[in-house]
Amino acid sequence: MVFDNTQKQAFSEDVGQKETVRLWLTLIGIAIVPLGAFFLHPSLGTALGVMTPIPLAYGMRRRNITEGLGAIALVTMATAFVQGPGAGLLFAVETFPLCLAIYWAIGAEGPPHFSVLAGVGFVAGVGLVAMFIYSSTTDLTLGEVYRQTLEKMGFFMETVSTGNDIPAENVQQLQWVIDVWKRLFAGIWLSTLTLLLAFYRVLTRGLLVQTGFMEEEEPSFFARWYLPFPFVGVFVVLAAMVVLSSGTVQNVALNGLIPLGTLYGIQGMVVLGHIFSRLGIPHIFRMFMLMFVAIAYPMVLIITVALIGLFDTWIDFRNRFPFPEEGE
């Protein structure tokens, strides 16, 4: 049988469409794995749900935004069917902007911290819009919606504690943790979002490189992570507000200091990785060292890594202690 050019083109388009459908079915299947795990154990499904944006953002970047948004909509409907409309709506509010932020960060040029901050700002902005819409439909102010959210989450944590026969002294400690968590919720959320977006960006781009749809970065994303000097001024001002003030002003400063500390923490981890590599410390030993300190002295590790990132602004460890040239 002989095909003319029109038939060949139609055949090629049909094959391309089938490959596209197969790709999205695979990616959507991976994205809904947490929903299957949710039937086995809700906590397992929630934990695996952290990885859901990666296949969706990968497909969006590999194909296009329109198809990516359609895939997210399908996973949203599946989430609403399994976990209820409220969970589906929350998934949509979180995942639509997050995948768009990952998509943009993967292709963004310029300083890595800028693409992460822009993405965090976009996701946070969408969240504020969603809260504003909710407040408009319920006659509540934004502050009341925020406090209502904190109370619901705090009630959930208290319910978990009372249902597990926790000793009275531990219950008091947990209540203190809940109170602190309520005070610092915004900062913790922004800090978590910053970390997630940075690693989502690296992991998703890594998959695109592995499948041949993007070229390897040189230098890598984290190797280019340098916070400019003005961030130090912001850090000093917020730290001074924490030390010298109290009440609402102190809470606002703490909620700003936590995500800023996370940015410096990322830089500190990059510096530690550079120093470990320069000293020739094997990766397995690095992992055990960090795991030991993280378990034994978690706050010491967090503060130390953030301070290393902060002092890197002046010392510039990576340029001051470069890798030796070959032959040296």
- Condensed to tens digits (0 to 9), the pLDDT of residues 280-313 reads 888 888 888 888 888 888 888 888 999 999 999 9
The residue whose two tokens read 């003030």 is 245
Distance separating alpha carbons of residues 226 and 101, to the nearest angstrom: 20
Range of lowest pLDDT (28-32, 195-199, 248-252, 281-285): 281-285
The sign of the torsion formed by the CA atoms of 173, 178, 182, 185 equals positive
- Give the C-alpha distances (Å, rounded to integers) separating 34 from 82, 125, 193, 265: 11, 26, 19, 29
Token pair, residue 215, equals 């070229």
More confident residue, 204 or 110: 204
Distance separating alpha carbons of residues 149 and 135, to the nearest angstrom: 12
pTM, two decimal places: 0.84
Q: Is residue 4 pLDDT above 80, yes or no?
A: no
Token pair, residue 313, equals 């602004």
Q: Is residue 110 pLDDT above 90, yes or no?
A: no
Q: Is residue 16 pLDDT above 50, yes or no?
A: yes
Q: Give the Cβ contact number of residue 295 at 10 Å.
A: 9
Q: Is residue 271 pLDDT above 80, yes or no?
A: yes
Q: How confident is the model at residue 164 (pLDDT cuts 50, 70, 90)?
A: low
Give the percent of the chain with pLDDT over 70.
Answer: 86
pLDDT at residue number 80: 92
